[in-house]
Amino acid sequence: MVGPAERRVTKCDNLKMELPWYRCVERRELPPQSGSTHRLYMYAAGLGIGQAAGSVPADLTIGNGEQFTSNQTTFSTSQASEGTVGTGLIPCVLTDYAVIGQYCDFCGVSDYALAVAIDPALENLEREMAYRLAGTISSLVRTQANAAGVIDASVYSGSKTTGTVLTIADPIKAVQELRQRSVAPFTENKFVGVITPLSVGDILVSTGYNSLVDIYKHTKEGLDKLLELPGGNGKDDDVQVLDFSGFKFYESPYCTETASYQSGAATAYRTTLFGHQAVIGISLGVKENSQIGDGEWSNMKLWLMKPEGPSVADPTHVVGGFTSYNVKMVDTLPPDLVMRLRYIDATSGLS
- 228-256 pLDDT, tens digit per residue, is 656 655 555 454 547 777 888 888 999 99
Burial of residue 346 (number of CB atoms within 10 Å: 0-12, 13-18, 19+):
buried
Res 48: pLDDT: 46
Whether the Cβ atoms of residue 342 and residue 174 lie closer than 8 Å to each other: yes
Average pLDDT of span 106-132: 92
* Largest interatomic CA distance in the chain: 106
Average pLDDT of span 55-72: 42
Judged by average pLDDT, the poorest of 39-43, 104-108, 208-212, 312-316 is 208-212
The torsion angles phi and psi of 80, rounded to 5 degrees, stand at: -75, 150
Which of these, 151, 55, 46, lies nearest to 96 by C-alpha position? 151
- Considering the chain, what percentage of its residues have pLDDT values greater than 90? 44
Determine the straight-line distance between the first and last CA of the chain, rounded to whole angstroms: 44
Give the CB-side neighbour count of residue 21, counting CA atoms within 13 A: 27
Whether the Cβ atoms of residue 236 and residue 296 lie closer than 8 Å to each other: no
Average pLDDT of span 275-298: 80
Res 275: pLDDT: 97
User: Where do the structural domains in the chain lie, given as residue ranges?
Assistant: 33-99, 102-282+332-347
CA–CA separation, 149 vs 151, rounded Å?
A: 5
The torsion angles phi and psi of 216, rounded to 5 degrees, stand at: -75, -25
Work out the mean pLDDT of the chain and round it to a whole number: 81
CA–CA separation, 89 vs 68, rounded Å?
A: 18
Residue 285, pLDDT above cutoff 80: no
